[in-house]
Amino acid sequence: MKKEVAKKLLKLVNVKSNTDLLELYMEDRIYILHKQMEQLPDMNDVRQAQGAIKELRRLQTLRHEVIAGAKDG
């Protein structure tokens, strides 16, 4: 992550209420996607849902990534 982008994102991730709400949203989306995957008949749709879950899991590390990026650059 570019240092300039990380510094701008610090405003988002340094507010605990923001990160708590984002975490709540991500966990809810992951739950919904897991439930949908159980009923998907097509493997391409399953892979798409898996990709969405993977990206949500990556977003769960956003705070750490932004803080590290703002320091290191």
Helices (H) and strands (E) in the chain, counts: 4, 0
**Residue range 16-62, pLDDT digits in tens:** 999 999 999 999 999 999 999 999 999 999 999 999 999 999 999 99
Number of domains in the chain: 1
Identify the pLDDT of residue 72. Answer: 76
Identify the pLDDT of residue 46. Answer: 96
Identify the pLDDT of residue 1. Answer: 86
Note down the domain range covering 26. 3-72
This prediction has a pTM of 0.83
Identify the pLDDT of residue 73. Answer: 54
Distance of alpha carbon 34 from its chain centroid, rounded? Answer: 15
Identify the pLDDT of residue 33. Answer: 97
